């Protein structure tokens, strides 16, 4: 069964510092991988997704993630944190398929940004 592990339930950074949120996946075949962000009392918004051979994926709001098959990782980074980045971040995995998409989410990492 697929699963996702997000290391660190909380990550604190200063404004302007590097953001690194960790995600490791378990899957028998290369899956689709996603990062979502959730602001308080909101639904989920897609930041970026990995679905092809391009291992470095760029997303919205300056975020990017690198798919590393050998490490089964898909860590999310941003060079310089903004106060507005404070939110809950979820990594998710799904099988490669033609129509069915069951997203399996990690438990989330809350990003705290201090001035």
Q: Which of the residues 35 through 54 are near other proteins (CB under 8 A)?
A: 36, 41-46, 49, 51
Tokens of 8: 């660190």
* 100 lies in the binding site for other proteins (CB under 8 A): yes
At its nearest, how many Å lie between other proteins and the CB of residue 7?
A: 14
Piece in contact with other proteins (CB under 8 A), picked from 13-21, 59-67, 72-80, 99-107: 99-107
CB neighbourhood size of 73 (10 A): 18
Question: CB-based burial of residue 17 (10 Å sphere; 0-12 exposed, 13-18 middle, 19+ buried)?
Answer: middle
Q: What Cα–Cα distance (Å) separates residue 45 from each residue in 29, 35, 61, 71, 91?
A: 26, 9, 12, 26, 12
Exactly one of 30, 59, 62, 108 binds other proteins (CB under 8 A); that residue is 108
* 98 lies in the binding site for other proteins (CB under 8 A): yes
The residues binding other proteins (CB under 8 A) are 32, 36, 41-46, 49, 51, 90, 92, 94-108
């Amino acid at each position: 069964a697929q699963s996702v592990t997000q290391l660190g339930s909380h990550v604190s950074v200063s404004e302007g510092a590097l953001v690194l949120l960790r995600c490791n996946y378990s899957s028998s075949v290369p899956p689709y991988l996603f990062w979502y962000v959730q602001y308080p009392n909101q639904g989920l918004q897609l930041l970026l997704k990995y679905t092809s051979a391009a291992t470095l994926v760029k997303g919205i709001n300056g975020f990017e993630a690198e798919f590393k098959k050998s490490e089964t990782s898909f860590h999310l980074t941003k060079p310089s944190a903004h106060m507005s980045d404070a939110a809950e971040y979820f990594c998710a995995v799904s099988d490669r398929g033609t129509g069915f998409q069951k997203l399996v989410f990690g438990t989330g990492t809350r990003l705290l940004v201090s001035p």
